[in-house]
Amino acid sequence: MKKIIALLLSCIMLFQLTVSSTAAYNAPKLEKEEWDMYYESLVDKNTLPALNVGANQTQVSLCWHCDKDKAEAKVEVSTNSDMSDAKTFTGEITVSENDTQVVCRVTVTGLEEKTVYYYRWYTENGWSEAEKYETKSFSDHKAMVVGDIQIAEDWRTDDEVNQDEIGFNWNNVLSTALTNSPDIAYLVSPGDNTSTGSTQQEWQTLLMPKALRELPMALAIGNHDKKGMMYNYYTNMPNEYYGRFFSGLDRDFWFRYGDVLYLFYDSTSGNAPDHKAMTREAIKQNPDAKWRIGVVHHGIYGAGDCIGDAETEILLSTIFAPIFESFDLDLVITGHTHSQGRSHFMENRKVVGTAESGKTYTNPKGIVYLNSNSVCERPTNESYEAEHLAYSFLENDTTTYSTLEFKGDQLILETRRGDNGELLDSLTIERTEEHNENSFGNVMKRAGYTVIEALGFIYTMVDNLVRKFS
Ligand SMILES: [Fe+2]
């Protein structure tokens, strides 16, 4: 009997160890004074690494600035905290936005799921301290969504917020999300990562939270990022797609994690032919992906001041919605309006199915648009009414974040307060059918899109000329 009890106890302990095997992120919530000290110690340096998602779940990428005379684009990865038996990955060195530094980019490959790794990158002072990175499940998993982080340089100090305060909010919303959900595998942002897009300090502040050494990010380009070229020097996104007509900062990109294909669109570009071509190429390479998620900065069918706005409601929905619909996307993540909200199921500019909070919908027709709140300043409470809106959060003095959980046939979308994690909105989409981008209706929709491609091509050529001579 004693042996049986001992065996049972051992099994229970083993089960508990397995259940709690997802280690906590190092994501401390800081008081403002603590953050201020941390911020001041780092803000004038320019060497923090960005950890970005890789082309698939077995990869992550790094990007960091380094003294141009001492730079070596190399990263060591080990399963031992003392970095013994480390494997070395090398990458490329390119010019930076300043005269004294270069940009190092390295992609780490061959990662295995649910494994604790340690990594370090080569700095101007030799190897960095080792950082921990734990891979999560490569099948069922969870992603975090936060948009309009929009770190703003200090010329806005006379305004409501400044760079230091936005960094403080950014650190704490990450802390809330990662403490509540330590199983989050990566972060998706629909862009406006910075405000002016033209200072290194904005990116230094964005990269400050300690959690970002462990949390790979996928960052879309927003209209504020496009005010400058800094995004170019501080990111290392996978499968960047420049197509035939993109120029300057403009580009799309895509990546695959488990059963999910993410398609990131640069909505500051009206380059319809290349947006469509990128979608076709990514789907062609990932025909088996169960979920197709679009990420685009502007708030098409979002909450806030995109409602009734000609740019988003007419121009951008004309360019992007036919691509999303004819390639049978499941969900589109947007931002820009600094207002948390979510649409019903949309198609052809109409609500084709209600998407009530807390409910599950199986093989729904149409696409849900999730509009993320901002981390930087948020407009005061306003009630936005629009037929397309299923949910909107009006207490905009509070940050929010969303999670996407992929579990079997289900995509579970949740939105929570960024200060205490309280659940605000949820929706479950169940997909048991194949994607239908080759249906007669979708093929015809893409045939009709040729006119928009032609107009988008003309727009892109004019836009490129204007930028060349301005
Ligand atoms: Fe924006």
- Position 155 scores a pLDDT of 54
- Position 302 scores a pLDDT of 85
Calculate how far, in angstroms, residue 337's C-alpha sits from the geometric centre of ligand 1.
7
Do 426 and 362 belong together in one domain? Answer: yes
Domain CATH number, residue 108: 2.60.40.380
Among 134, 163, 193, the domain boundary falls at 134
Do 107 and 241 belong together in one domain? Answer: no
Calculate how far, in angstroms, residue 204's C-alpha sits from the geometric centre of ligand 1.
20
Calculate how far, in angstroms, residue 188's C-alpha sits from the geometric centre of ligand 1.
16
Do 286 and 301 belong together in one domain? Answer: yes
- Position 379 scores a pLDDT of 63
47, part of any domain: no
Write the CA distances from 336 to 69, 188, 204, 223, 280, integer angstroms: 39, 14, 22, 8, 26
Calculate how far, in angstroms, residue 192's C-alpha sits from the geometric centre of ligand 1.
5
Given phi > 0 = left and psi -120 to 50 = alpha, else beta, which region is 38?
alpha
Calculate how far, in angstroms, residue 250's C-alpha sits from the geometric centre of ligand 1.
15
Do 314 and 175 belong together in one domain? Answer: yes
456, part of any domain: no
Q: Taking each helix axis as running N to C, give the angle between helix 317-326 and helix 440-448, from 0 to 180 degrees, rounded to the nearest 10.
A: 150
Do 118 and 238 belong together in one domain? Answer: no
Do 278 and 418 belong together in one domain? Answer: yes
Range of the domain at 125: 58-134
400, part of any domain: yes
Calculate how far, in angstroms, residue 296's C-alpha sits from the geometric centre of ligand 1.
10
460, part of any domain: no
Among 98, 119, 134, the domain boundary falls at 134
Please count the structural domains in the chain. 2
Predicted TM-score of the model (pTM): 0.93
Provide the CB-side half-sphere exposure for 102 (13 A, CA): 17
Do 253 and 392 belong together in one domain? Answer: yes
Q: Could you list the mean pLDDT of each consecutive 10-residue stretch along the chain, which spans 470 residues?
A: 55 43 82 95 93 98 97 98 97 97 98 98 96 97 96 62 88 96 97 93 96 98 94 98 93 98 96 96 97 96 80 83 97 94 95 97 97 80 80 86 97 96 97 95 93 89 81
Domain CATH number, residue 314: 3.60.21.10
Calculate how far, in angstroms, residue 131's C-alpha sits from the geometric centre of ligand 1.
32
25, part of any domain: no
Calculate how far, in angstroms, residue 226's C-alpha sits from the geometric centre of ligand 1.
10
Calculate how far, in angstroms, residue 234's C-alpha sits from the geometric centre of ligand 1.
19
Among 90, 106, 134, the domain boundary falls at 134
Do 314 and 423 belong together in one domain? Answer: yes
341, part of any domain: yes
- Position 59 scores a pLDDT of 98
Do 114 and 149 belong together in one domain? Answer: no
d(CA 322, CA 251): 19
Amino acid letter, 159: D
Calculate how far, in angstroms, residue 379's C-alpha sits from the geometric centre of ligand 1.
13
410, part of any domain: yes
List b or e across 277-286, with b for residues whose CB sees 16 or more CB atoms inside 10 angstroms.
bbbeebbeeb
38, part of any domain: no
Q: Which two tokens stand for residue 48?
A: 């923090």
Of 300, 298, 219, the residue nearest 53 (C-alpha):
219
Phi, psi of 181 (to 5 degrees): -130, 75
Do 232 and 380 belong together in one domain? Answer: yes
Calculate how far, in angstroms, residue 148's C-alpha sits from the geometric centre of ligand 1.
7
Calculate how far, in angstroms, residue 426's C-alpha sits from the geometric centre of ligand 1.
25
- Position 7 scores a pLDDT of 54
Do 154 and 126 belong together in one domain? Answer: no
Do 328 and 192 belong together in one domain? Answer: yes
Calculate how far, in angstroms, residue 31's C-alpha sits from the geometric centre of ligand 1.
28
Q: Which two tokens stand for residue 161?
A: 């917020």
Calculate how far, in angstroms, residue 158's C-alpha sits from the geometric centre of ligand 1.
21
